Chains A and B, each alone.
Chain A
């Protein structure tokens, strides 16, 4: 991966009649990056991807690929290739002819095409499938053919619109890992559209979270999870407990008061840029950032007393719903079921441990 930008989106908007599918999208995607567009259904992910591919044009704004403005450049002349959600395998052609479809327009001999096709099939683990007809393939194999058909063109960017959504859970998880490895190996930029936050976290170098035609945050998976920019992003990626809070500046940082937990001094750096102490209205804390102190000897940076209201047992984990002091909703706390640790029954009085690292501040 380099820092060279490969795709530049500047103030891109798209209207379908009166529907504003995209409102002012700004983003830079770097060369060799695995970039995901993540968001709920109807937020405009597909629309954005199709505009990069050239199937649609922005209402306003510019899209540049590798420094070249793409306005007026049709899809067949763009250095991008798409893996469709339906795979769009040509049903009347064999696997090899599907993969070689785009090469026919390049000035290559038959033998060169055959060699390229073989190489691409090897990349997606489909050696020996060249003569199969499209309808003789399983879902996962179709997906690989669609990918090989894009790879063989050696585009600058490969666009994938929910490529794994048609596969069953097990195959999907396997393909997530394979796709990620393949992308790292060949180094082509991938842009993936998905509404599955777990998939985005597993596969991507960076993720753009979109809501209603706007990008809410672009960050690495860890950045998104640990430092979500808004409550909405926080609850879209994983689970987060929200607690009312207030803060005032104190030397070098701020003093945050949380009725449910107590008070704590946070570093200035814990606050998003352009944020004032008076803006702090809520803190967020992930279920795994709170701990139930089982043993008398267990300690934590801070402690608060609570009462277990409910438990959900997941085998490796147990999720506790715990009532804390103050006016907030009960919080969810996840605990690993390590050896010798039993599940607490509802009604148990517990000590809950937390610390300054556990918290994210919000408006």
Chain B
């Protein structure tokens, strides 16, 4: 009896929590399809007009290209760096390993604004011009910890005797990488690429501080907020970004679970299990 009552309260709590968490997000598509320039209730009617407006905005196309460029470069670079770090953590013992790993993971908890300002000051001191590349640098810094966390579980799950078995069966080092290591960590690599890409795509503060004249999508969105007439189309853009991010994260999670299954590990464990 007691537990049934407890269960009811738990359900109420869970629903309230979900509303609190996702109600604002639901507003985004709601107003994106609303046939009015003013963002306010009651809703006026359905339109997909705002998406057409988006499509016809030239400046937006540049921002999308920039974001893709930054996102893909960030994903590739941080995944490569993350893979090297994860491999080293999984395979080798070296002095001060724990503290080194801690330093790699530190950007996860540092306030982004601090990182951004620090990077900006440093770039100024070095006299480097701001560009998309400086944004990529900043993004790699904050993405590597995620990449390390994801790939670390992939490499930890890779039994060293598998490599030895391959070598023992006549395969070369390169052949062992191609036929055993790569296929086994591939889902983790894809998952890392997708997640770091998503993080970079959505990131605002570092992009805002470190970019020159080329803007990424979030920075573009911020610049458009000054014009109330543009708000509905920004809502439409937000909706698209939201859909894309969610899709990418779901696909990434799917790959991560597949990774775990391949290596015969319980897929319920979190990728950040290491941290």
By a beta-carbon cutoff of 8 Å, the part of chain A in contact with chain B is 53-55, 74-77, 80-82, 84-86, 88, 90-92, 101-102, 105-106, 135, 149, 153
Contact = CB atoms under 8 A, between A and B. Distances in A.
Contacts of B65: none
A88 B170 contact: no
B178 to A, nearest CB: 11
Q: Which of A74, A77, A88, A149 lies at the interface centre, i.e. has the most chain B CB atoms within 10 A of its CB? A: A88
Interface size grouping (class) on chain B: 20 to 34
Interface stretch (B94-102, B118-126, B159-167, B229-237): B159-167
A92 B168 contact: no
A53 B168 contact: yes
Contact of B167 (A75, A92, A149): A75
A49 to B, nearest CB: 12
A85 B162 CA distance: 11
Contacts of B37: none
Contacts of B264: 91, 135
Contacts of A74: 167
Given A84-B165, A102-B170, 4 more contacts: A75-B167, A76-B172, A82-B168, A90-B166
B169 interface: yes
B170 A105 contact: yes
Given A91-B262, A92-B183, A92-B262, A86 B168 contact: no
B161 A75 contact: no
Given A101-B169, A102-B171, A88 B164 contact: yes
A88 B162 contact: yes
Contact of A76 (B159, B161, B167): B167
Contact of B170 (A55, A91, A153): A153
A135 B166 CA distance: 18
Nearest to B183: A92
B129 interface: no
Nearest to A80: B168
Contacts of B165: 82, 84, 88, 90, 149
Nearest to B161: A88
14 contacts: A53-B168, A74-B167, A76-B167, A76-B169, A80-B168, A86-B159, A90-B162, A90-B166, A91-B262, A102-B169, A105-B170, A106-B170, A149-B165, A153-B170
B36 interface: no
Contacts of B263: 91
Contacts of A84: 161, 164-165
Interface in B148-207: 159, 161-162, 164-172, 175, 179-180, 183-184
A156 B57 CA distance: 72
Nearest to B158: A91
A149 B164 CA distance: 13
Contacts of A92: 183-184, 262
Interface of B: 159, 161-162, 164-172, 175, 179-180, 183-184, 262-264
A101 B159 CA distance: 17
- Give the secondary structure class of B's interface: helix
Contacts of B180: 90
Contacts of B167: 55, 74-76
Contacts of A88: 159, 161-162, 164-165
Nearest to B180: A90
A99 B182 CA distance: 19
Contacts of A75: 164, 167-168
Contacts of B168: 53-55, 75-76, 80-82
B38 to A, nearest CB: 56
A79 to B, nearest CB: 10
Contact of B184 (A54, A85, A91, A135): A91
Contacts of A81: 168-169
B268 to A, nearest CB: 16
Nearest to B176: A76
A153 B165 CA distance: 13
A149 B169 CA distance: 8
A105 B175 contact: yes
Q: Considering the complex of A and B, which 8 residue pairs feature the smallest CB-CB distances, nearest first? A: A102-B169, A88-B165, A88-B161, A84-B161, A105-B170, A82-B168, A102-B170, A76-B170
A55 B161 CA distance: 11
Could you say which of B169, B172, B180, B262 has the most chain A C-beta atoms within 10 Å of its C-beta?
A: B169
A92 to B, nearest CB: 5
Contacts of B166: 90, 101
A77 B180 CA distance: 19
B169 A153 contact: yes
A76 B165 CA distance: 9
Nearest to A106: B170
A86 B164 CA distance: 12
A105 B161 contact: no
A76 B171 contact: yes
A55 B176 CA distance: 15
A285 to B, nearest CB: 44
A77 B165 CA distance: 13
A56 B80 CA distance: 30
A135 B264 CA distance: 7
